[in-house]
Structure 1
Amino acid sequence: MSENKAAINNPIYPIMIAIGVAHLINDTMQSVVPAMYPIFSRDLGLNFTQLGVITFVLNIVSSSLQPVVGFLSDKKPMPYALPIGMISSFIGLLMLVFVKEYWVILIAVIFLGFGSAIFHPEGSKVTFLAAGNKRGLAQSIYQVGGNSGQALAPLISAFILDALGQRGAAIVLLLTAMGIALLFKISKWYVRQLEAEKNSKKNKKTLISSLPPLSKKQVRIAIALLFTIIFARSFYTTNISNFYVFYLMDHYNLTLQVGQIFIFIFMAVGVVGTFFGGSLSDRIGRKNVILLSVVGPMPFCLTLPYIPIWLVPVYLIIIGSLIMISFSVTVIYAQELVPTKIGTMAGLTTGFAFGMGAVGGVVIGMLLDNIGIAMTMQIISVLPLLLVVSFFLPKDKVAGTA
């Protein structure tokens, strides 16, 4: 019995790293879409609203399907859905390399959104199975992979697409082919792991929650608060990642390449924050990390539109690193609220984040077209005030305390 328990609690680092690398490849493909926005605007003449609709279609397909995939995965795991999802994304990316018509671009991002919807819940389940007693660290490695892929978007735009146009995205197809092969190997391990648990009469591996016993009403309120946090964070980061480069070019007269380097700085430090956030939550608690991600960046978010250019990278470093330390933690917290529904809660939280990115893309695009870049950035800068609801989340127990 003690040997079985030790085996269960022992983290499987090769799988944790492999699924993190697969997440990087998956989200690199997704990041090609916003990376193409300056190219679509320059070469195809798309306006901000049309770019926002592209974001909406990509993210709404992913967000609406992720909870469904997570629910089905909790009922019956689907190991080989992982490479199938990436094959769908490969098809979508291949279409983006060649298309010139707006409606075909929308079809291409549907394929990308479908692939992402399949990948994320199943990837989270693999992370859970491999985590052992390192839940925060495992989720951080997984999310760091995804955030690293997203952080590549401005570099792809600045140094590949700006020079080669849409067809430069074909370079990412080579990375995608490697990802499909890697996911087939992970899927084989996934099957063996499920068989091992079945044979050891552990058909349900249930997460031990660090939260105190909560009533159904308290759980529902906590989930609502958590979704408010995800909404504000996703809306704000969508604005910085996808549209802030236009503000840098318009307000500070930066070139596209320099502007995209600024965006890369924001996203790169977000990767660092994501990594340390999960492991930090194992030490000081999930809620404390979420609070840190609220209190720390708040004054910088509020004043970002009004500062001189030399302060902008400093602010982006502070905001990006702090606001993202709760990225993986919110997923863990949601899973601990409903510890019997690991895949469902992962699908709901990540799906909701994608959904808010979808809505944010459309709303911000319309604001940019109708009230201008400067006013839009000023309005979005106050959105993080909603994050203060995190103070009302139930307090969790720090690992190792009674």
Structure 2
Amino acid sequence: MQQDQQKERLLTKPLLLLTFGHLITDFGQGALPVLLPFLKTAFTLSYTQVGIIVLVQNLTSSVIQPIFGYLTDRVSLPWLIPASVLLAGIGLAIIGLMPSYYTLLIAVIIGGLGIACFHPQASKSTHLISSAATKGRSMGLFSVGGNLGLALGSIAMSVALNAPGVLTNTLYFIIPGLIMSFLLYSNLQYLSPQQPIVQPAAASHPAAVTRQPLNYSLLAILLGFIFIRSSIHTGLTTYIPMYYIDFLSGSPVYASYLLAVFLFAGVIGTYAGAALSDRFGRKTVIMGSILTTLPLISLFQYTSGFATLLILALTGLALISSFATTVVLAQEMMPGYVGMASGLTIGFSIGLGGIGATILGYIADHFGVPSVFTVLAALPLIGVALASFLPGKLFKR
């Protein structure tokens, strides 16, 4: 009994470390959308150039993640976790110090590489330290860390940009990266157990866990769904501040609060969706998420005041509720390739959403920022169609 309790405590410690590491790593992804209006003014950028900044971050932070996923499936690389947290912090810290648009892109690349290194190994570690019955909730808690980092990053950057020094205040963002990197390095031995915690039946038949054939068609459908969801998410995080500041001539501070409401609601949705998927099934949560998002985005432009905050909160809650669920579903579809599954779902397909941001930038330049939200409101229809082909039954595990 005492050994079991000790094991429970041991498992809680690495999960919390990984969750907070995820929070600090994703600070930059939440901070960048708040930075974009200031960078647009400082460097006299077009919306297309702003979209390229988002694309570069997504390409470096996400699209190359499967490469690191492939490596971590073959060799355990727990040291990547603290190293990547530090690298992500450095990239964010130097963004405001860059003298030109192209050096700014270099800073974005540095931070993006840190993010790309972190997710596959950290997701794999989360998978390994979780029992079969709690994988959804464990991945949900880990994902909450990332989404909370997005939300806190937006608020922290808003505070930094409204203090004396403005853009140069990004330098202070190196501090949480240094602290978290040290904590992770000090507890490295807890972050990557050699064997996953499995049910007795699976433990007695390890070949059944690693030799199941992959269904590439279903995997492609899942990645297509994540691409659509990511395009919507990236579009909203990029253009909510732009819409309020450039089109409505509103306050940058209030625009950052609107973004924070959207992202904080996503934090709640992440864990709620993961917990519900353990009970009602992965497909149920994924379909419910995208169906609920469909009418909410359409209402955004027609609201004001408290109604706008409510719509953004509900949109964040619904849209992000499938985040952890799609990661777990991919890991279940790719037994023996946990790192690759994480790299594809958290990385590659999400990163491709940056292409959507660039296209939306072109649309904003030629047709106006409001037209961006018209496009975003239509994308959930594609998501619904893709989700209908995913494996599993609705309301059944």
Task: Between 299-308 and 167-176, report the one with greater CA deviation.
Answer: 299-308
Q: 1:36 to 1:397 in 2, by over 3 A?
A: closer
Task: Between 222-231 and 331-340, report the one with greater CA deviation.
Answer: 222-231
Answering whether residue 35 of structure 2 is matched by residue 39 of structure 1, we say no
- Once the two structures are superposed, residues 223-274 of structure 1 have per-residue CA deviations (whole angstroms, 9 ceiling, x without a partner) of 1221121111111111111112121234444211112111110110000000
Residue matched to 1:179: 180
Task: Between 326-335 and 164-173, report the one with greater CA deviation.
Answer: 164-173
Residue matched to 1:168: 169
Cα separation, 2, equivalents of 1:293 and 1:314: 17
Answering whether residue 241 of structure 2 is matched by residue 245 of structure 1, we say yes
Residue matched to 1:17: 16
Post-superposition offset of 1:368: 1.3
Task: Between 110-119 and 181-190, report the one with greater CA deviation.
Answer: 181-190
Cα separation, 1, equivalents of 2:4 and 2:251: 57
Cα separation, 1, equivalents of 2:320 and 2:100: 35
Residue matched to 2:334: 338
Residue matched to 1:141: 141
Secondary structure at the counterpart of residue 381 of structure 1: helix
Paired letter, 1:255 = S
Q: 1:103 to 1:392 in 2, by over 3 A?
A: same
- Once the two structures are superposed, residues 178-199 of structure 1 have per-residue CA deviations (whole angstroms, 9 ceiling, x without a partner) of 11112213422236x22899xx
Cα separation, 1, equivalents of 2:218 and 2:239: 31
Query: 374, 389, 392: which one pairs with 1:392?
Result: 389
Q: 1:355-394 to 2 correspondence within 5 Å?
A: 355-388=351-384, 389-394=386-391
Post-superposition offset of 1:336: 0.6
Cα separation, 2, equivalents of 1:11 and 1:325: 28
Paired letter, 1:140 = G
Q: 1:71 to 1:396 in 2, by over 3 A?
A: farther
Cα separation, 2, equivalents of 1:382 and 1:173: 39
Question: Is the CA contact 1:139–1:332 (under 8 Å) kept in the aligned structure 2?
Answer: yes
- Once the two structures are superposed, residues 310-333 of structure 1 have per-residue CA deviations (whole angstroms, 9 ceiling, x without a partner) of 421111111110111100000000
Answering whether residue 150 of structure 2 is matched by residue 150 of structure 1, we say yes
Q: 1:333 to 1:10 in 2, by over 3 A?
A: farther
Q: 1:7 to 1:256 in 2, by over 3 A?
A: same
Task: Between 339-348 and 301-310, report the one with greater CA deviation.
Answer: 301-310
Residue matched to 1:61: 60
**Aligned pair count?**
387
Post-superposition offset of 1:367: 1.6
Residue matched to 2:110: 111
Structure 2 unaligned residues grouped into runs of 5+ = 198-202
Structure 1 unaligned residues grouped into runs of 5+ = none
Paired letter, 2:190 = W
Answering whether residue 320 of structure 2 is matched by residue 324 of structure 1, we say yes
Paired letter, 2:226 = I
Cα separation, 2, equivalents of 1:86 and 1:268: 21
Task: Between 156-165 and 288-297, report the one with greater CA deviation.
Answer: 156-165
Task: Between 170-179 and 180-189, report the one with greater CA deviation.
Answer: 180-189
Secondary structure at the counterpart of residue 282 of structure 1: helix
Post-superposition offset of 1:6: 11
Q: 1:200-219 to 2 correspondence within 5 Å?
A: 216=214, 219=215
Question: Is the CA contact 1:34–1:153 (under 8 Å) kept in the aligned structure 2?
Answer: no
Paired letter, 1:190 = L
Question: Is the CA contact 1:148–1:271 (under 8 Å) kept in the aligned structure 2?
Answer: yes
Paired letter, 1:77 = S
TM-score relative to the length of structure 1: 0.88
Cα separation, 2, equivalents of 1:103 and 1:243: 22
- Once the two structures are superposed, residues 105-130 of structure 1 have per-residue CA deviations (whole angstroms, 9 ceiling, x without a partner) of 11111111111111000010111122
Q: 1:266 to 1:94 in 2, by over 3 A?
A: closer
Paired letter, 1:230 = I
Question: Is the CA contact 1:297–1:322 (under 8 Å) kept in the aligned structure 2?
Answer: yes
Task: Between 240-249 and 8-17, report the one with greater CA deviation.
Answer: 8-17
Post-superposition offset of 1:206: 8.3
Post-superposition offset of 1:38: 1.6
Identical-pair percentage: 28
Question: Is the CA contact 1:87–1:180 (under 8 Å) kept in the aligned structure 2?
Answer: yes
Paired letter, 1:312 = T
TM-score relative to the length of structure 2: 0.89
Residue matched to 2:190: 189
Q: 1:356 to 1:195 in 2, by over 3 A?
A: closer
Cα separation, 2, equivalents of 1:170 and 1:205: 48
Post-superposition offset of 1:171: 2.2
Q: 1:215 to 1:184 in 2, by over 3 A?
A: closer
Residue matched to 1:271: 267
Cα separation, 2, equivalents of 1:69 and 1:83: 15
Paired letter, 1:342 = V
- Once the two structures are superposed, residues 335-365 of structure 1 have per-residue CA deviations (whole angstroms, 9 ceiling, x without a partner) of 1111121111111111124322321221122
Paired letter, 1:93 = L
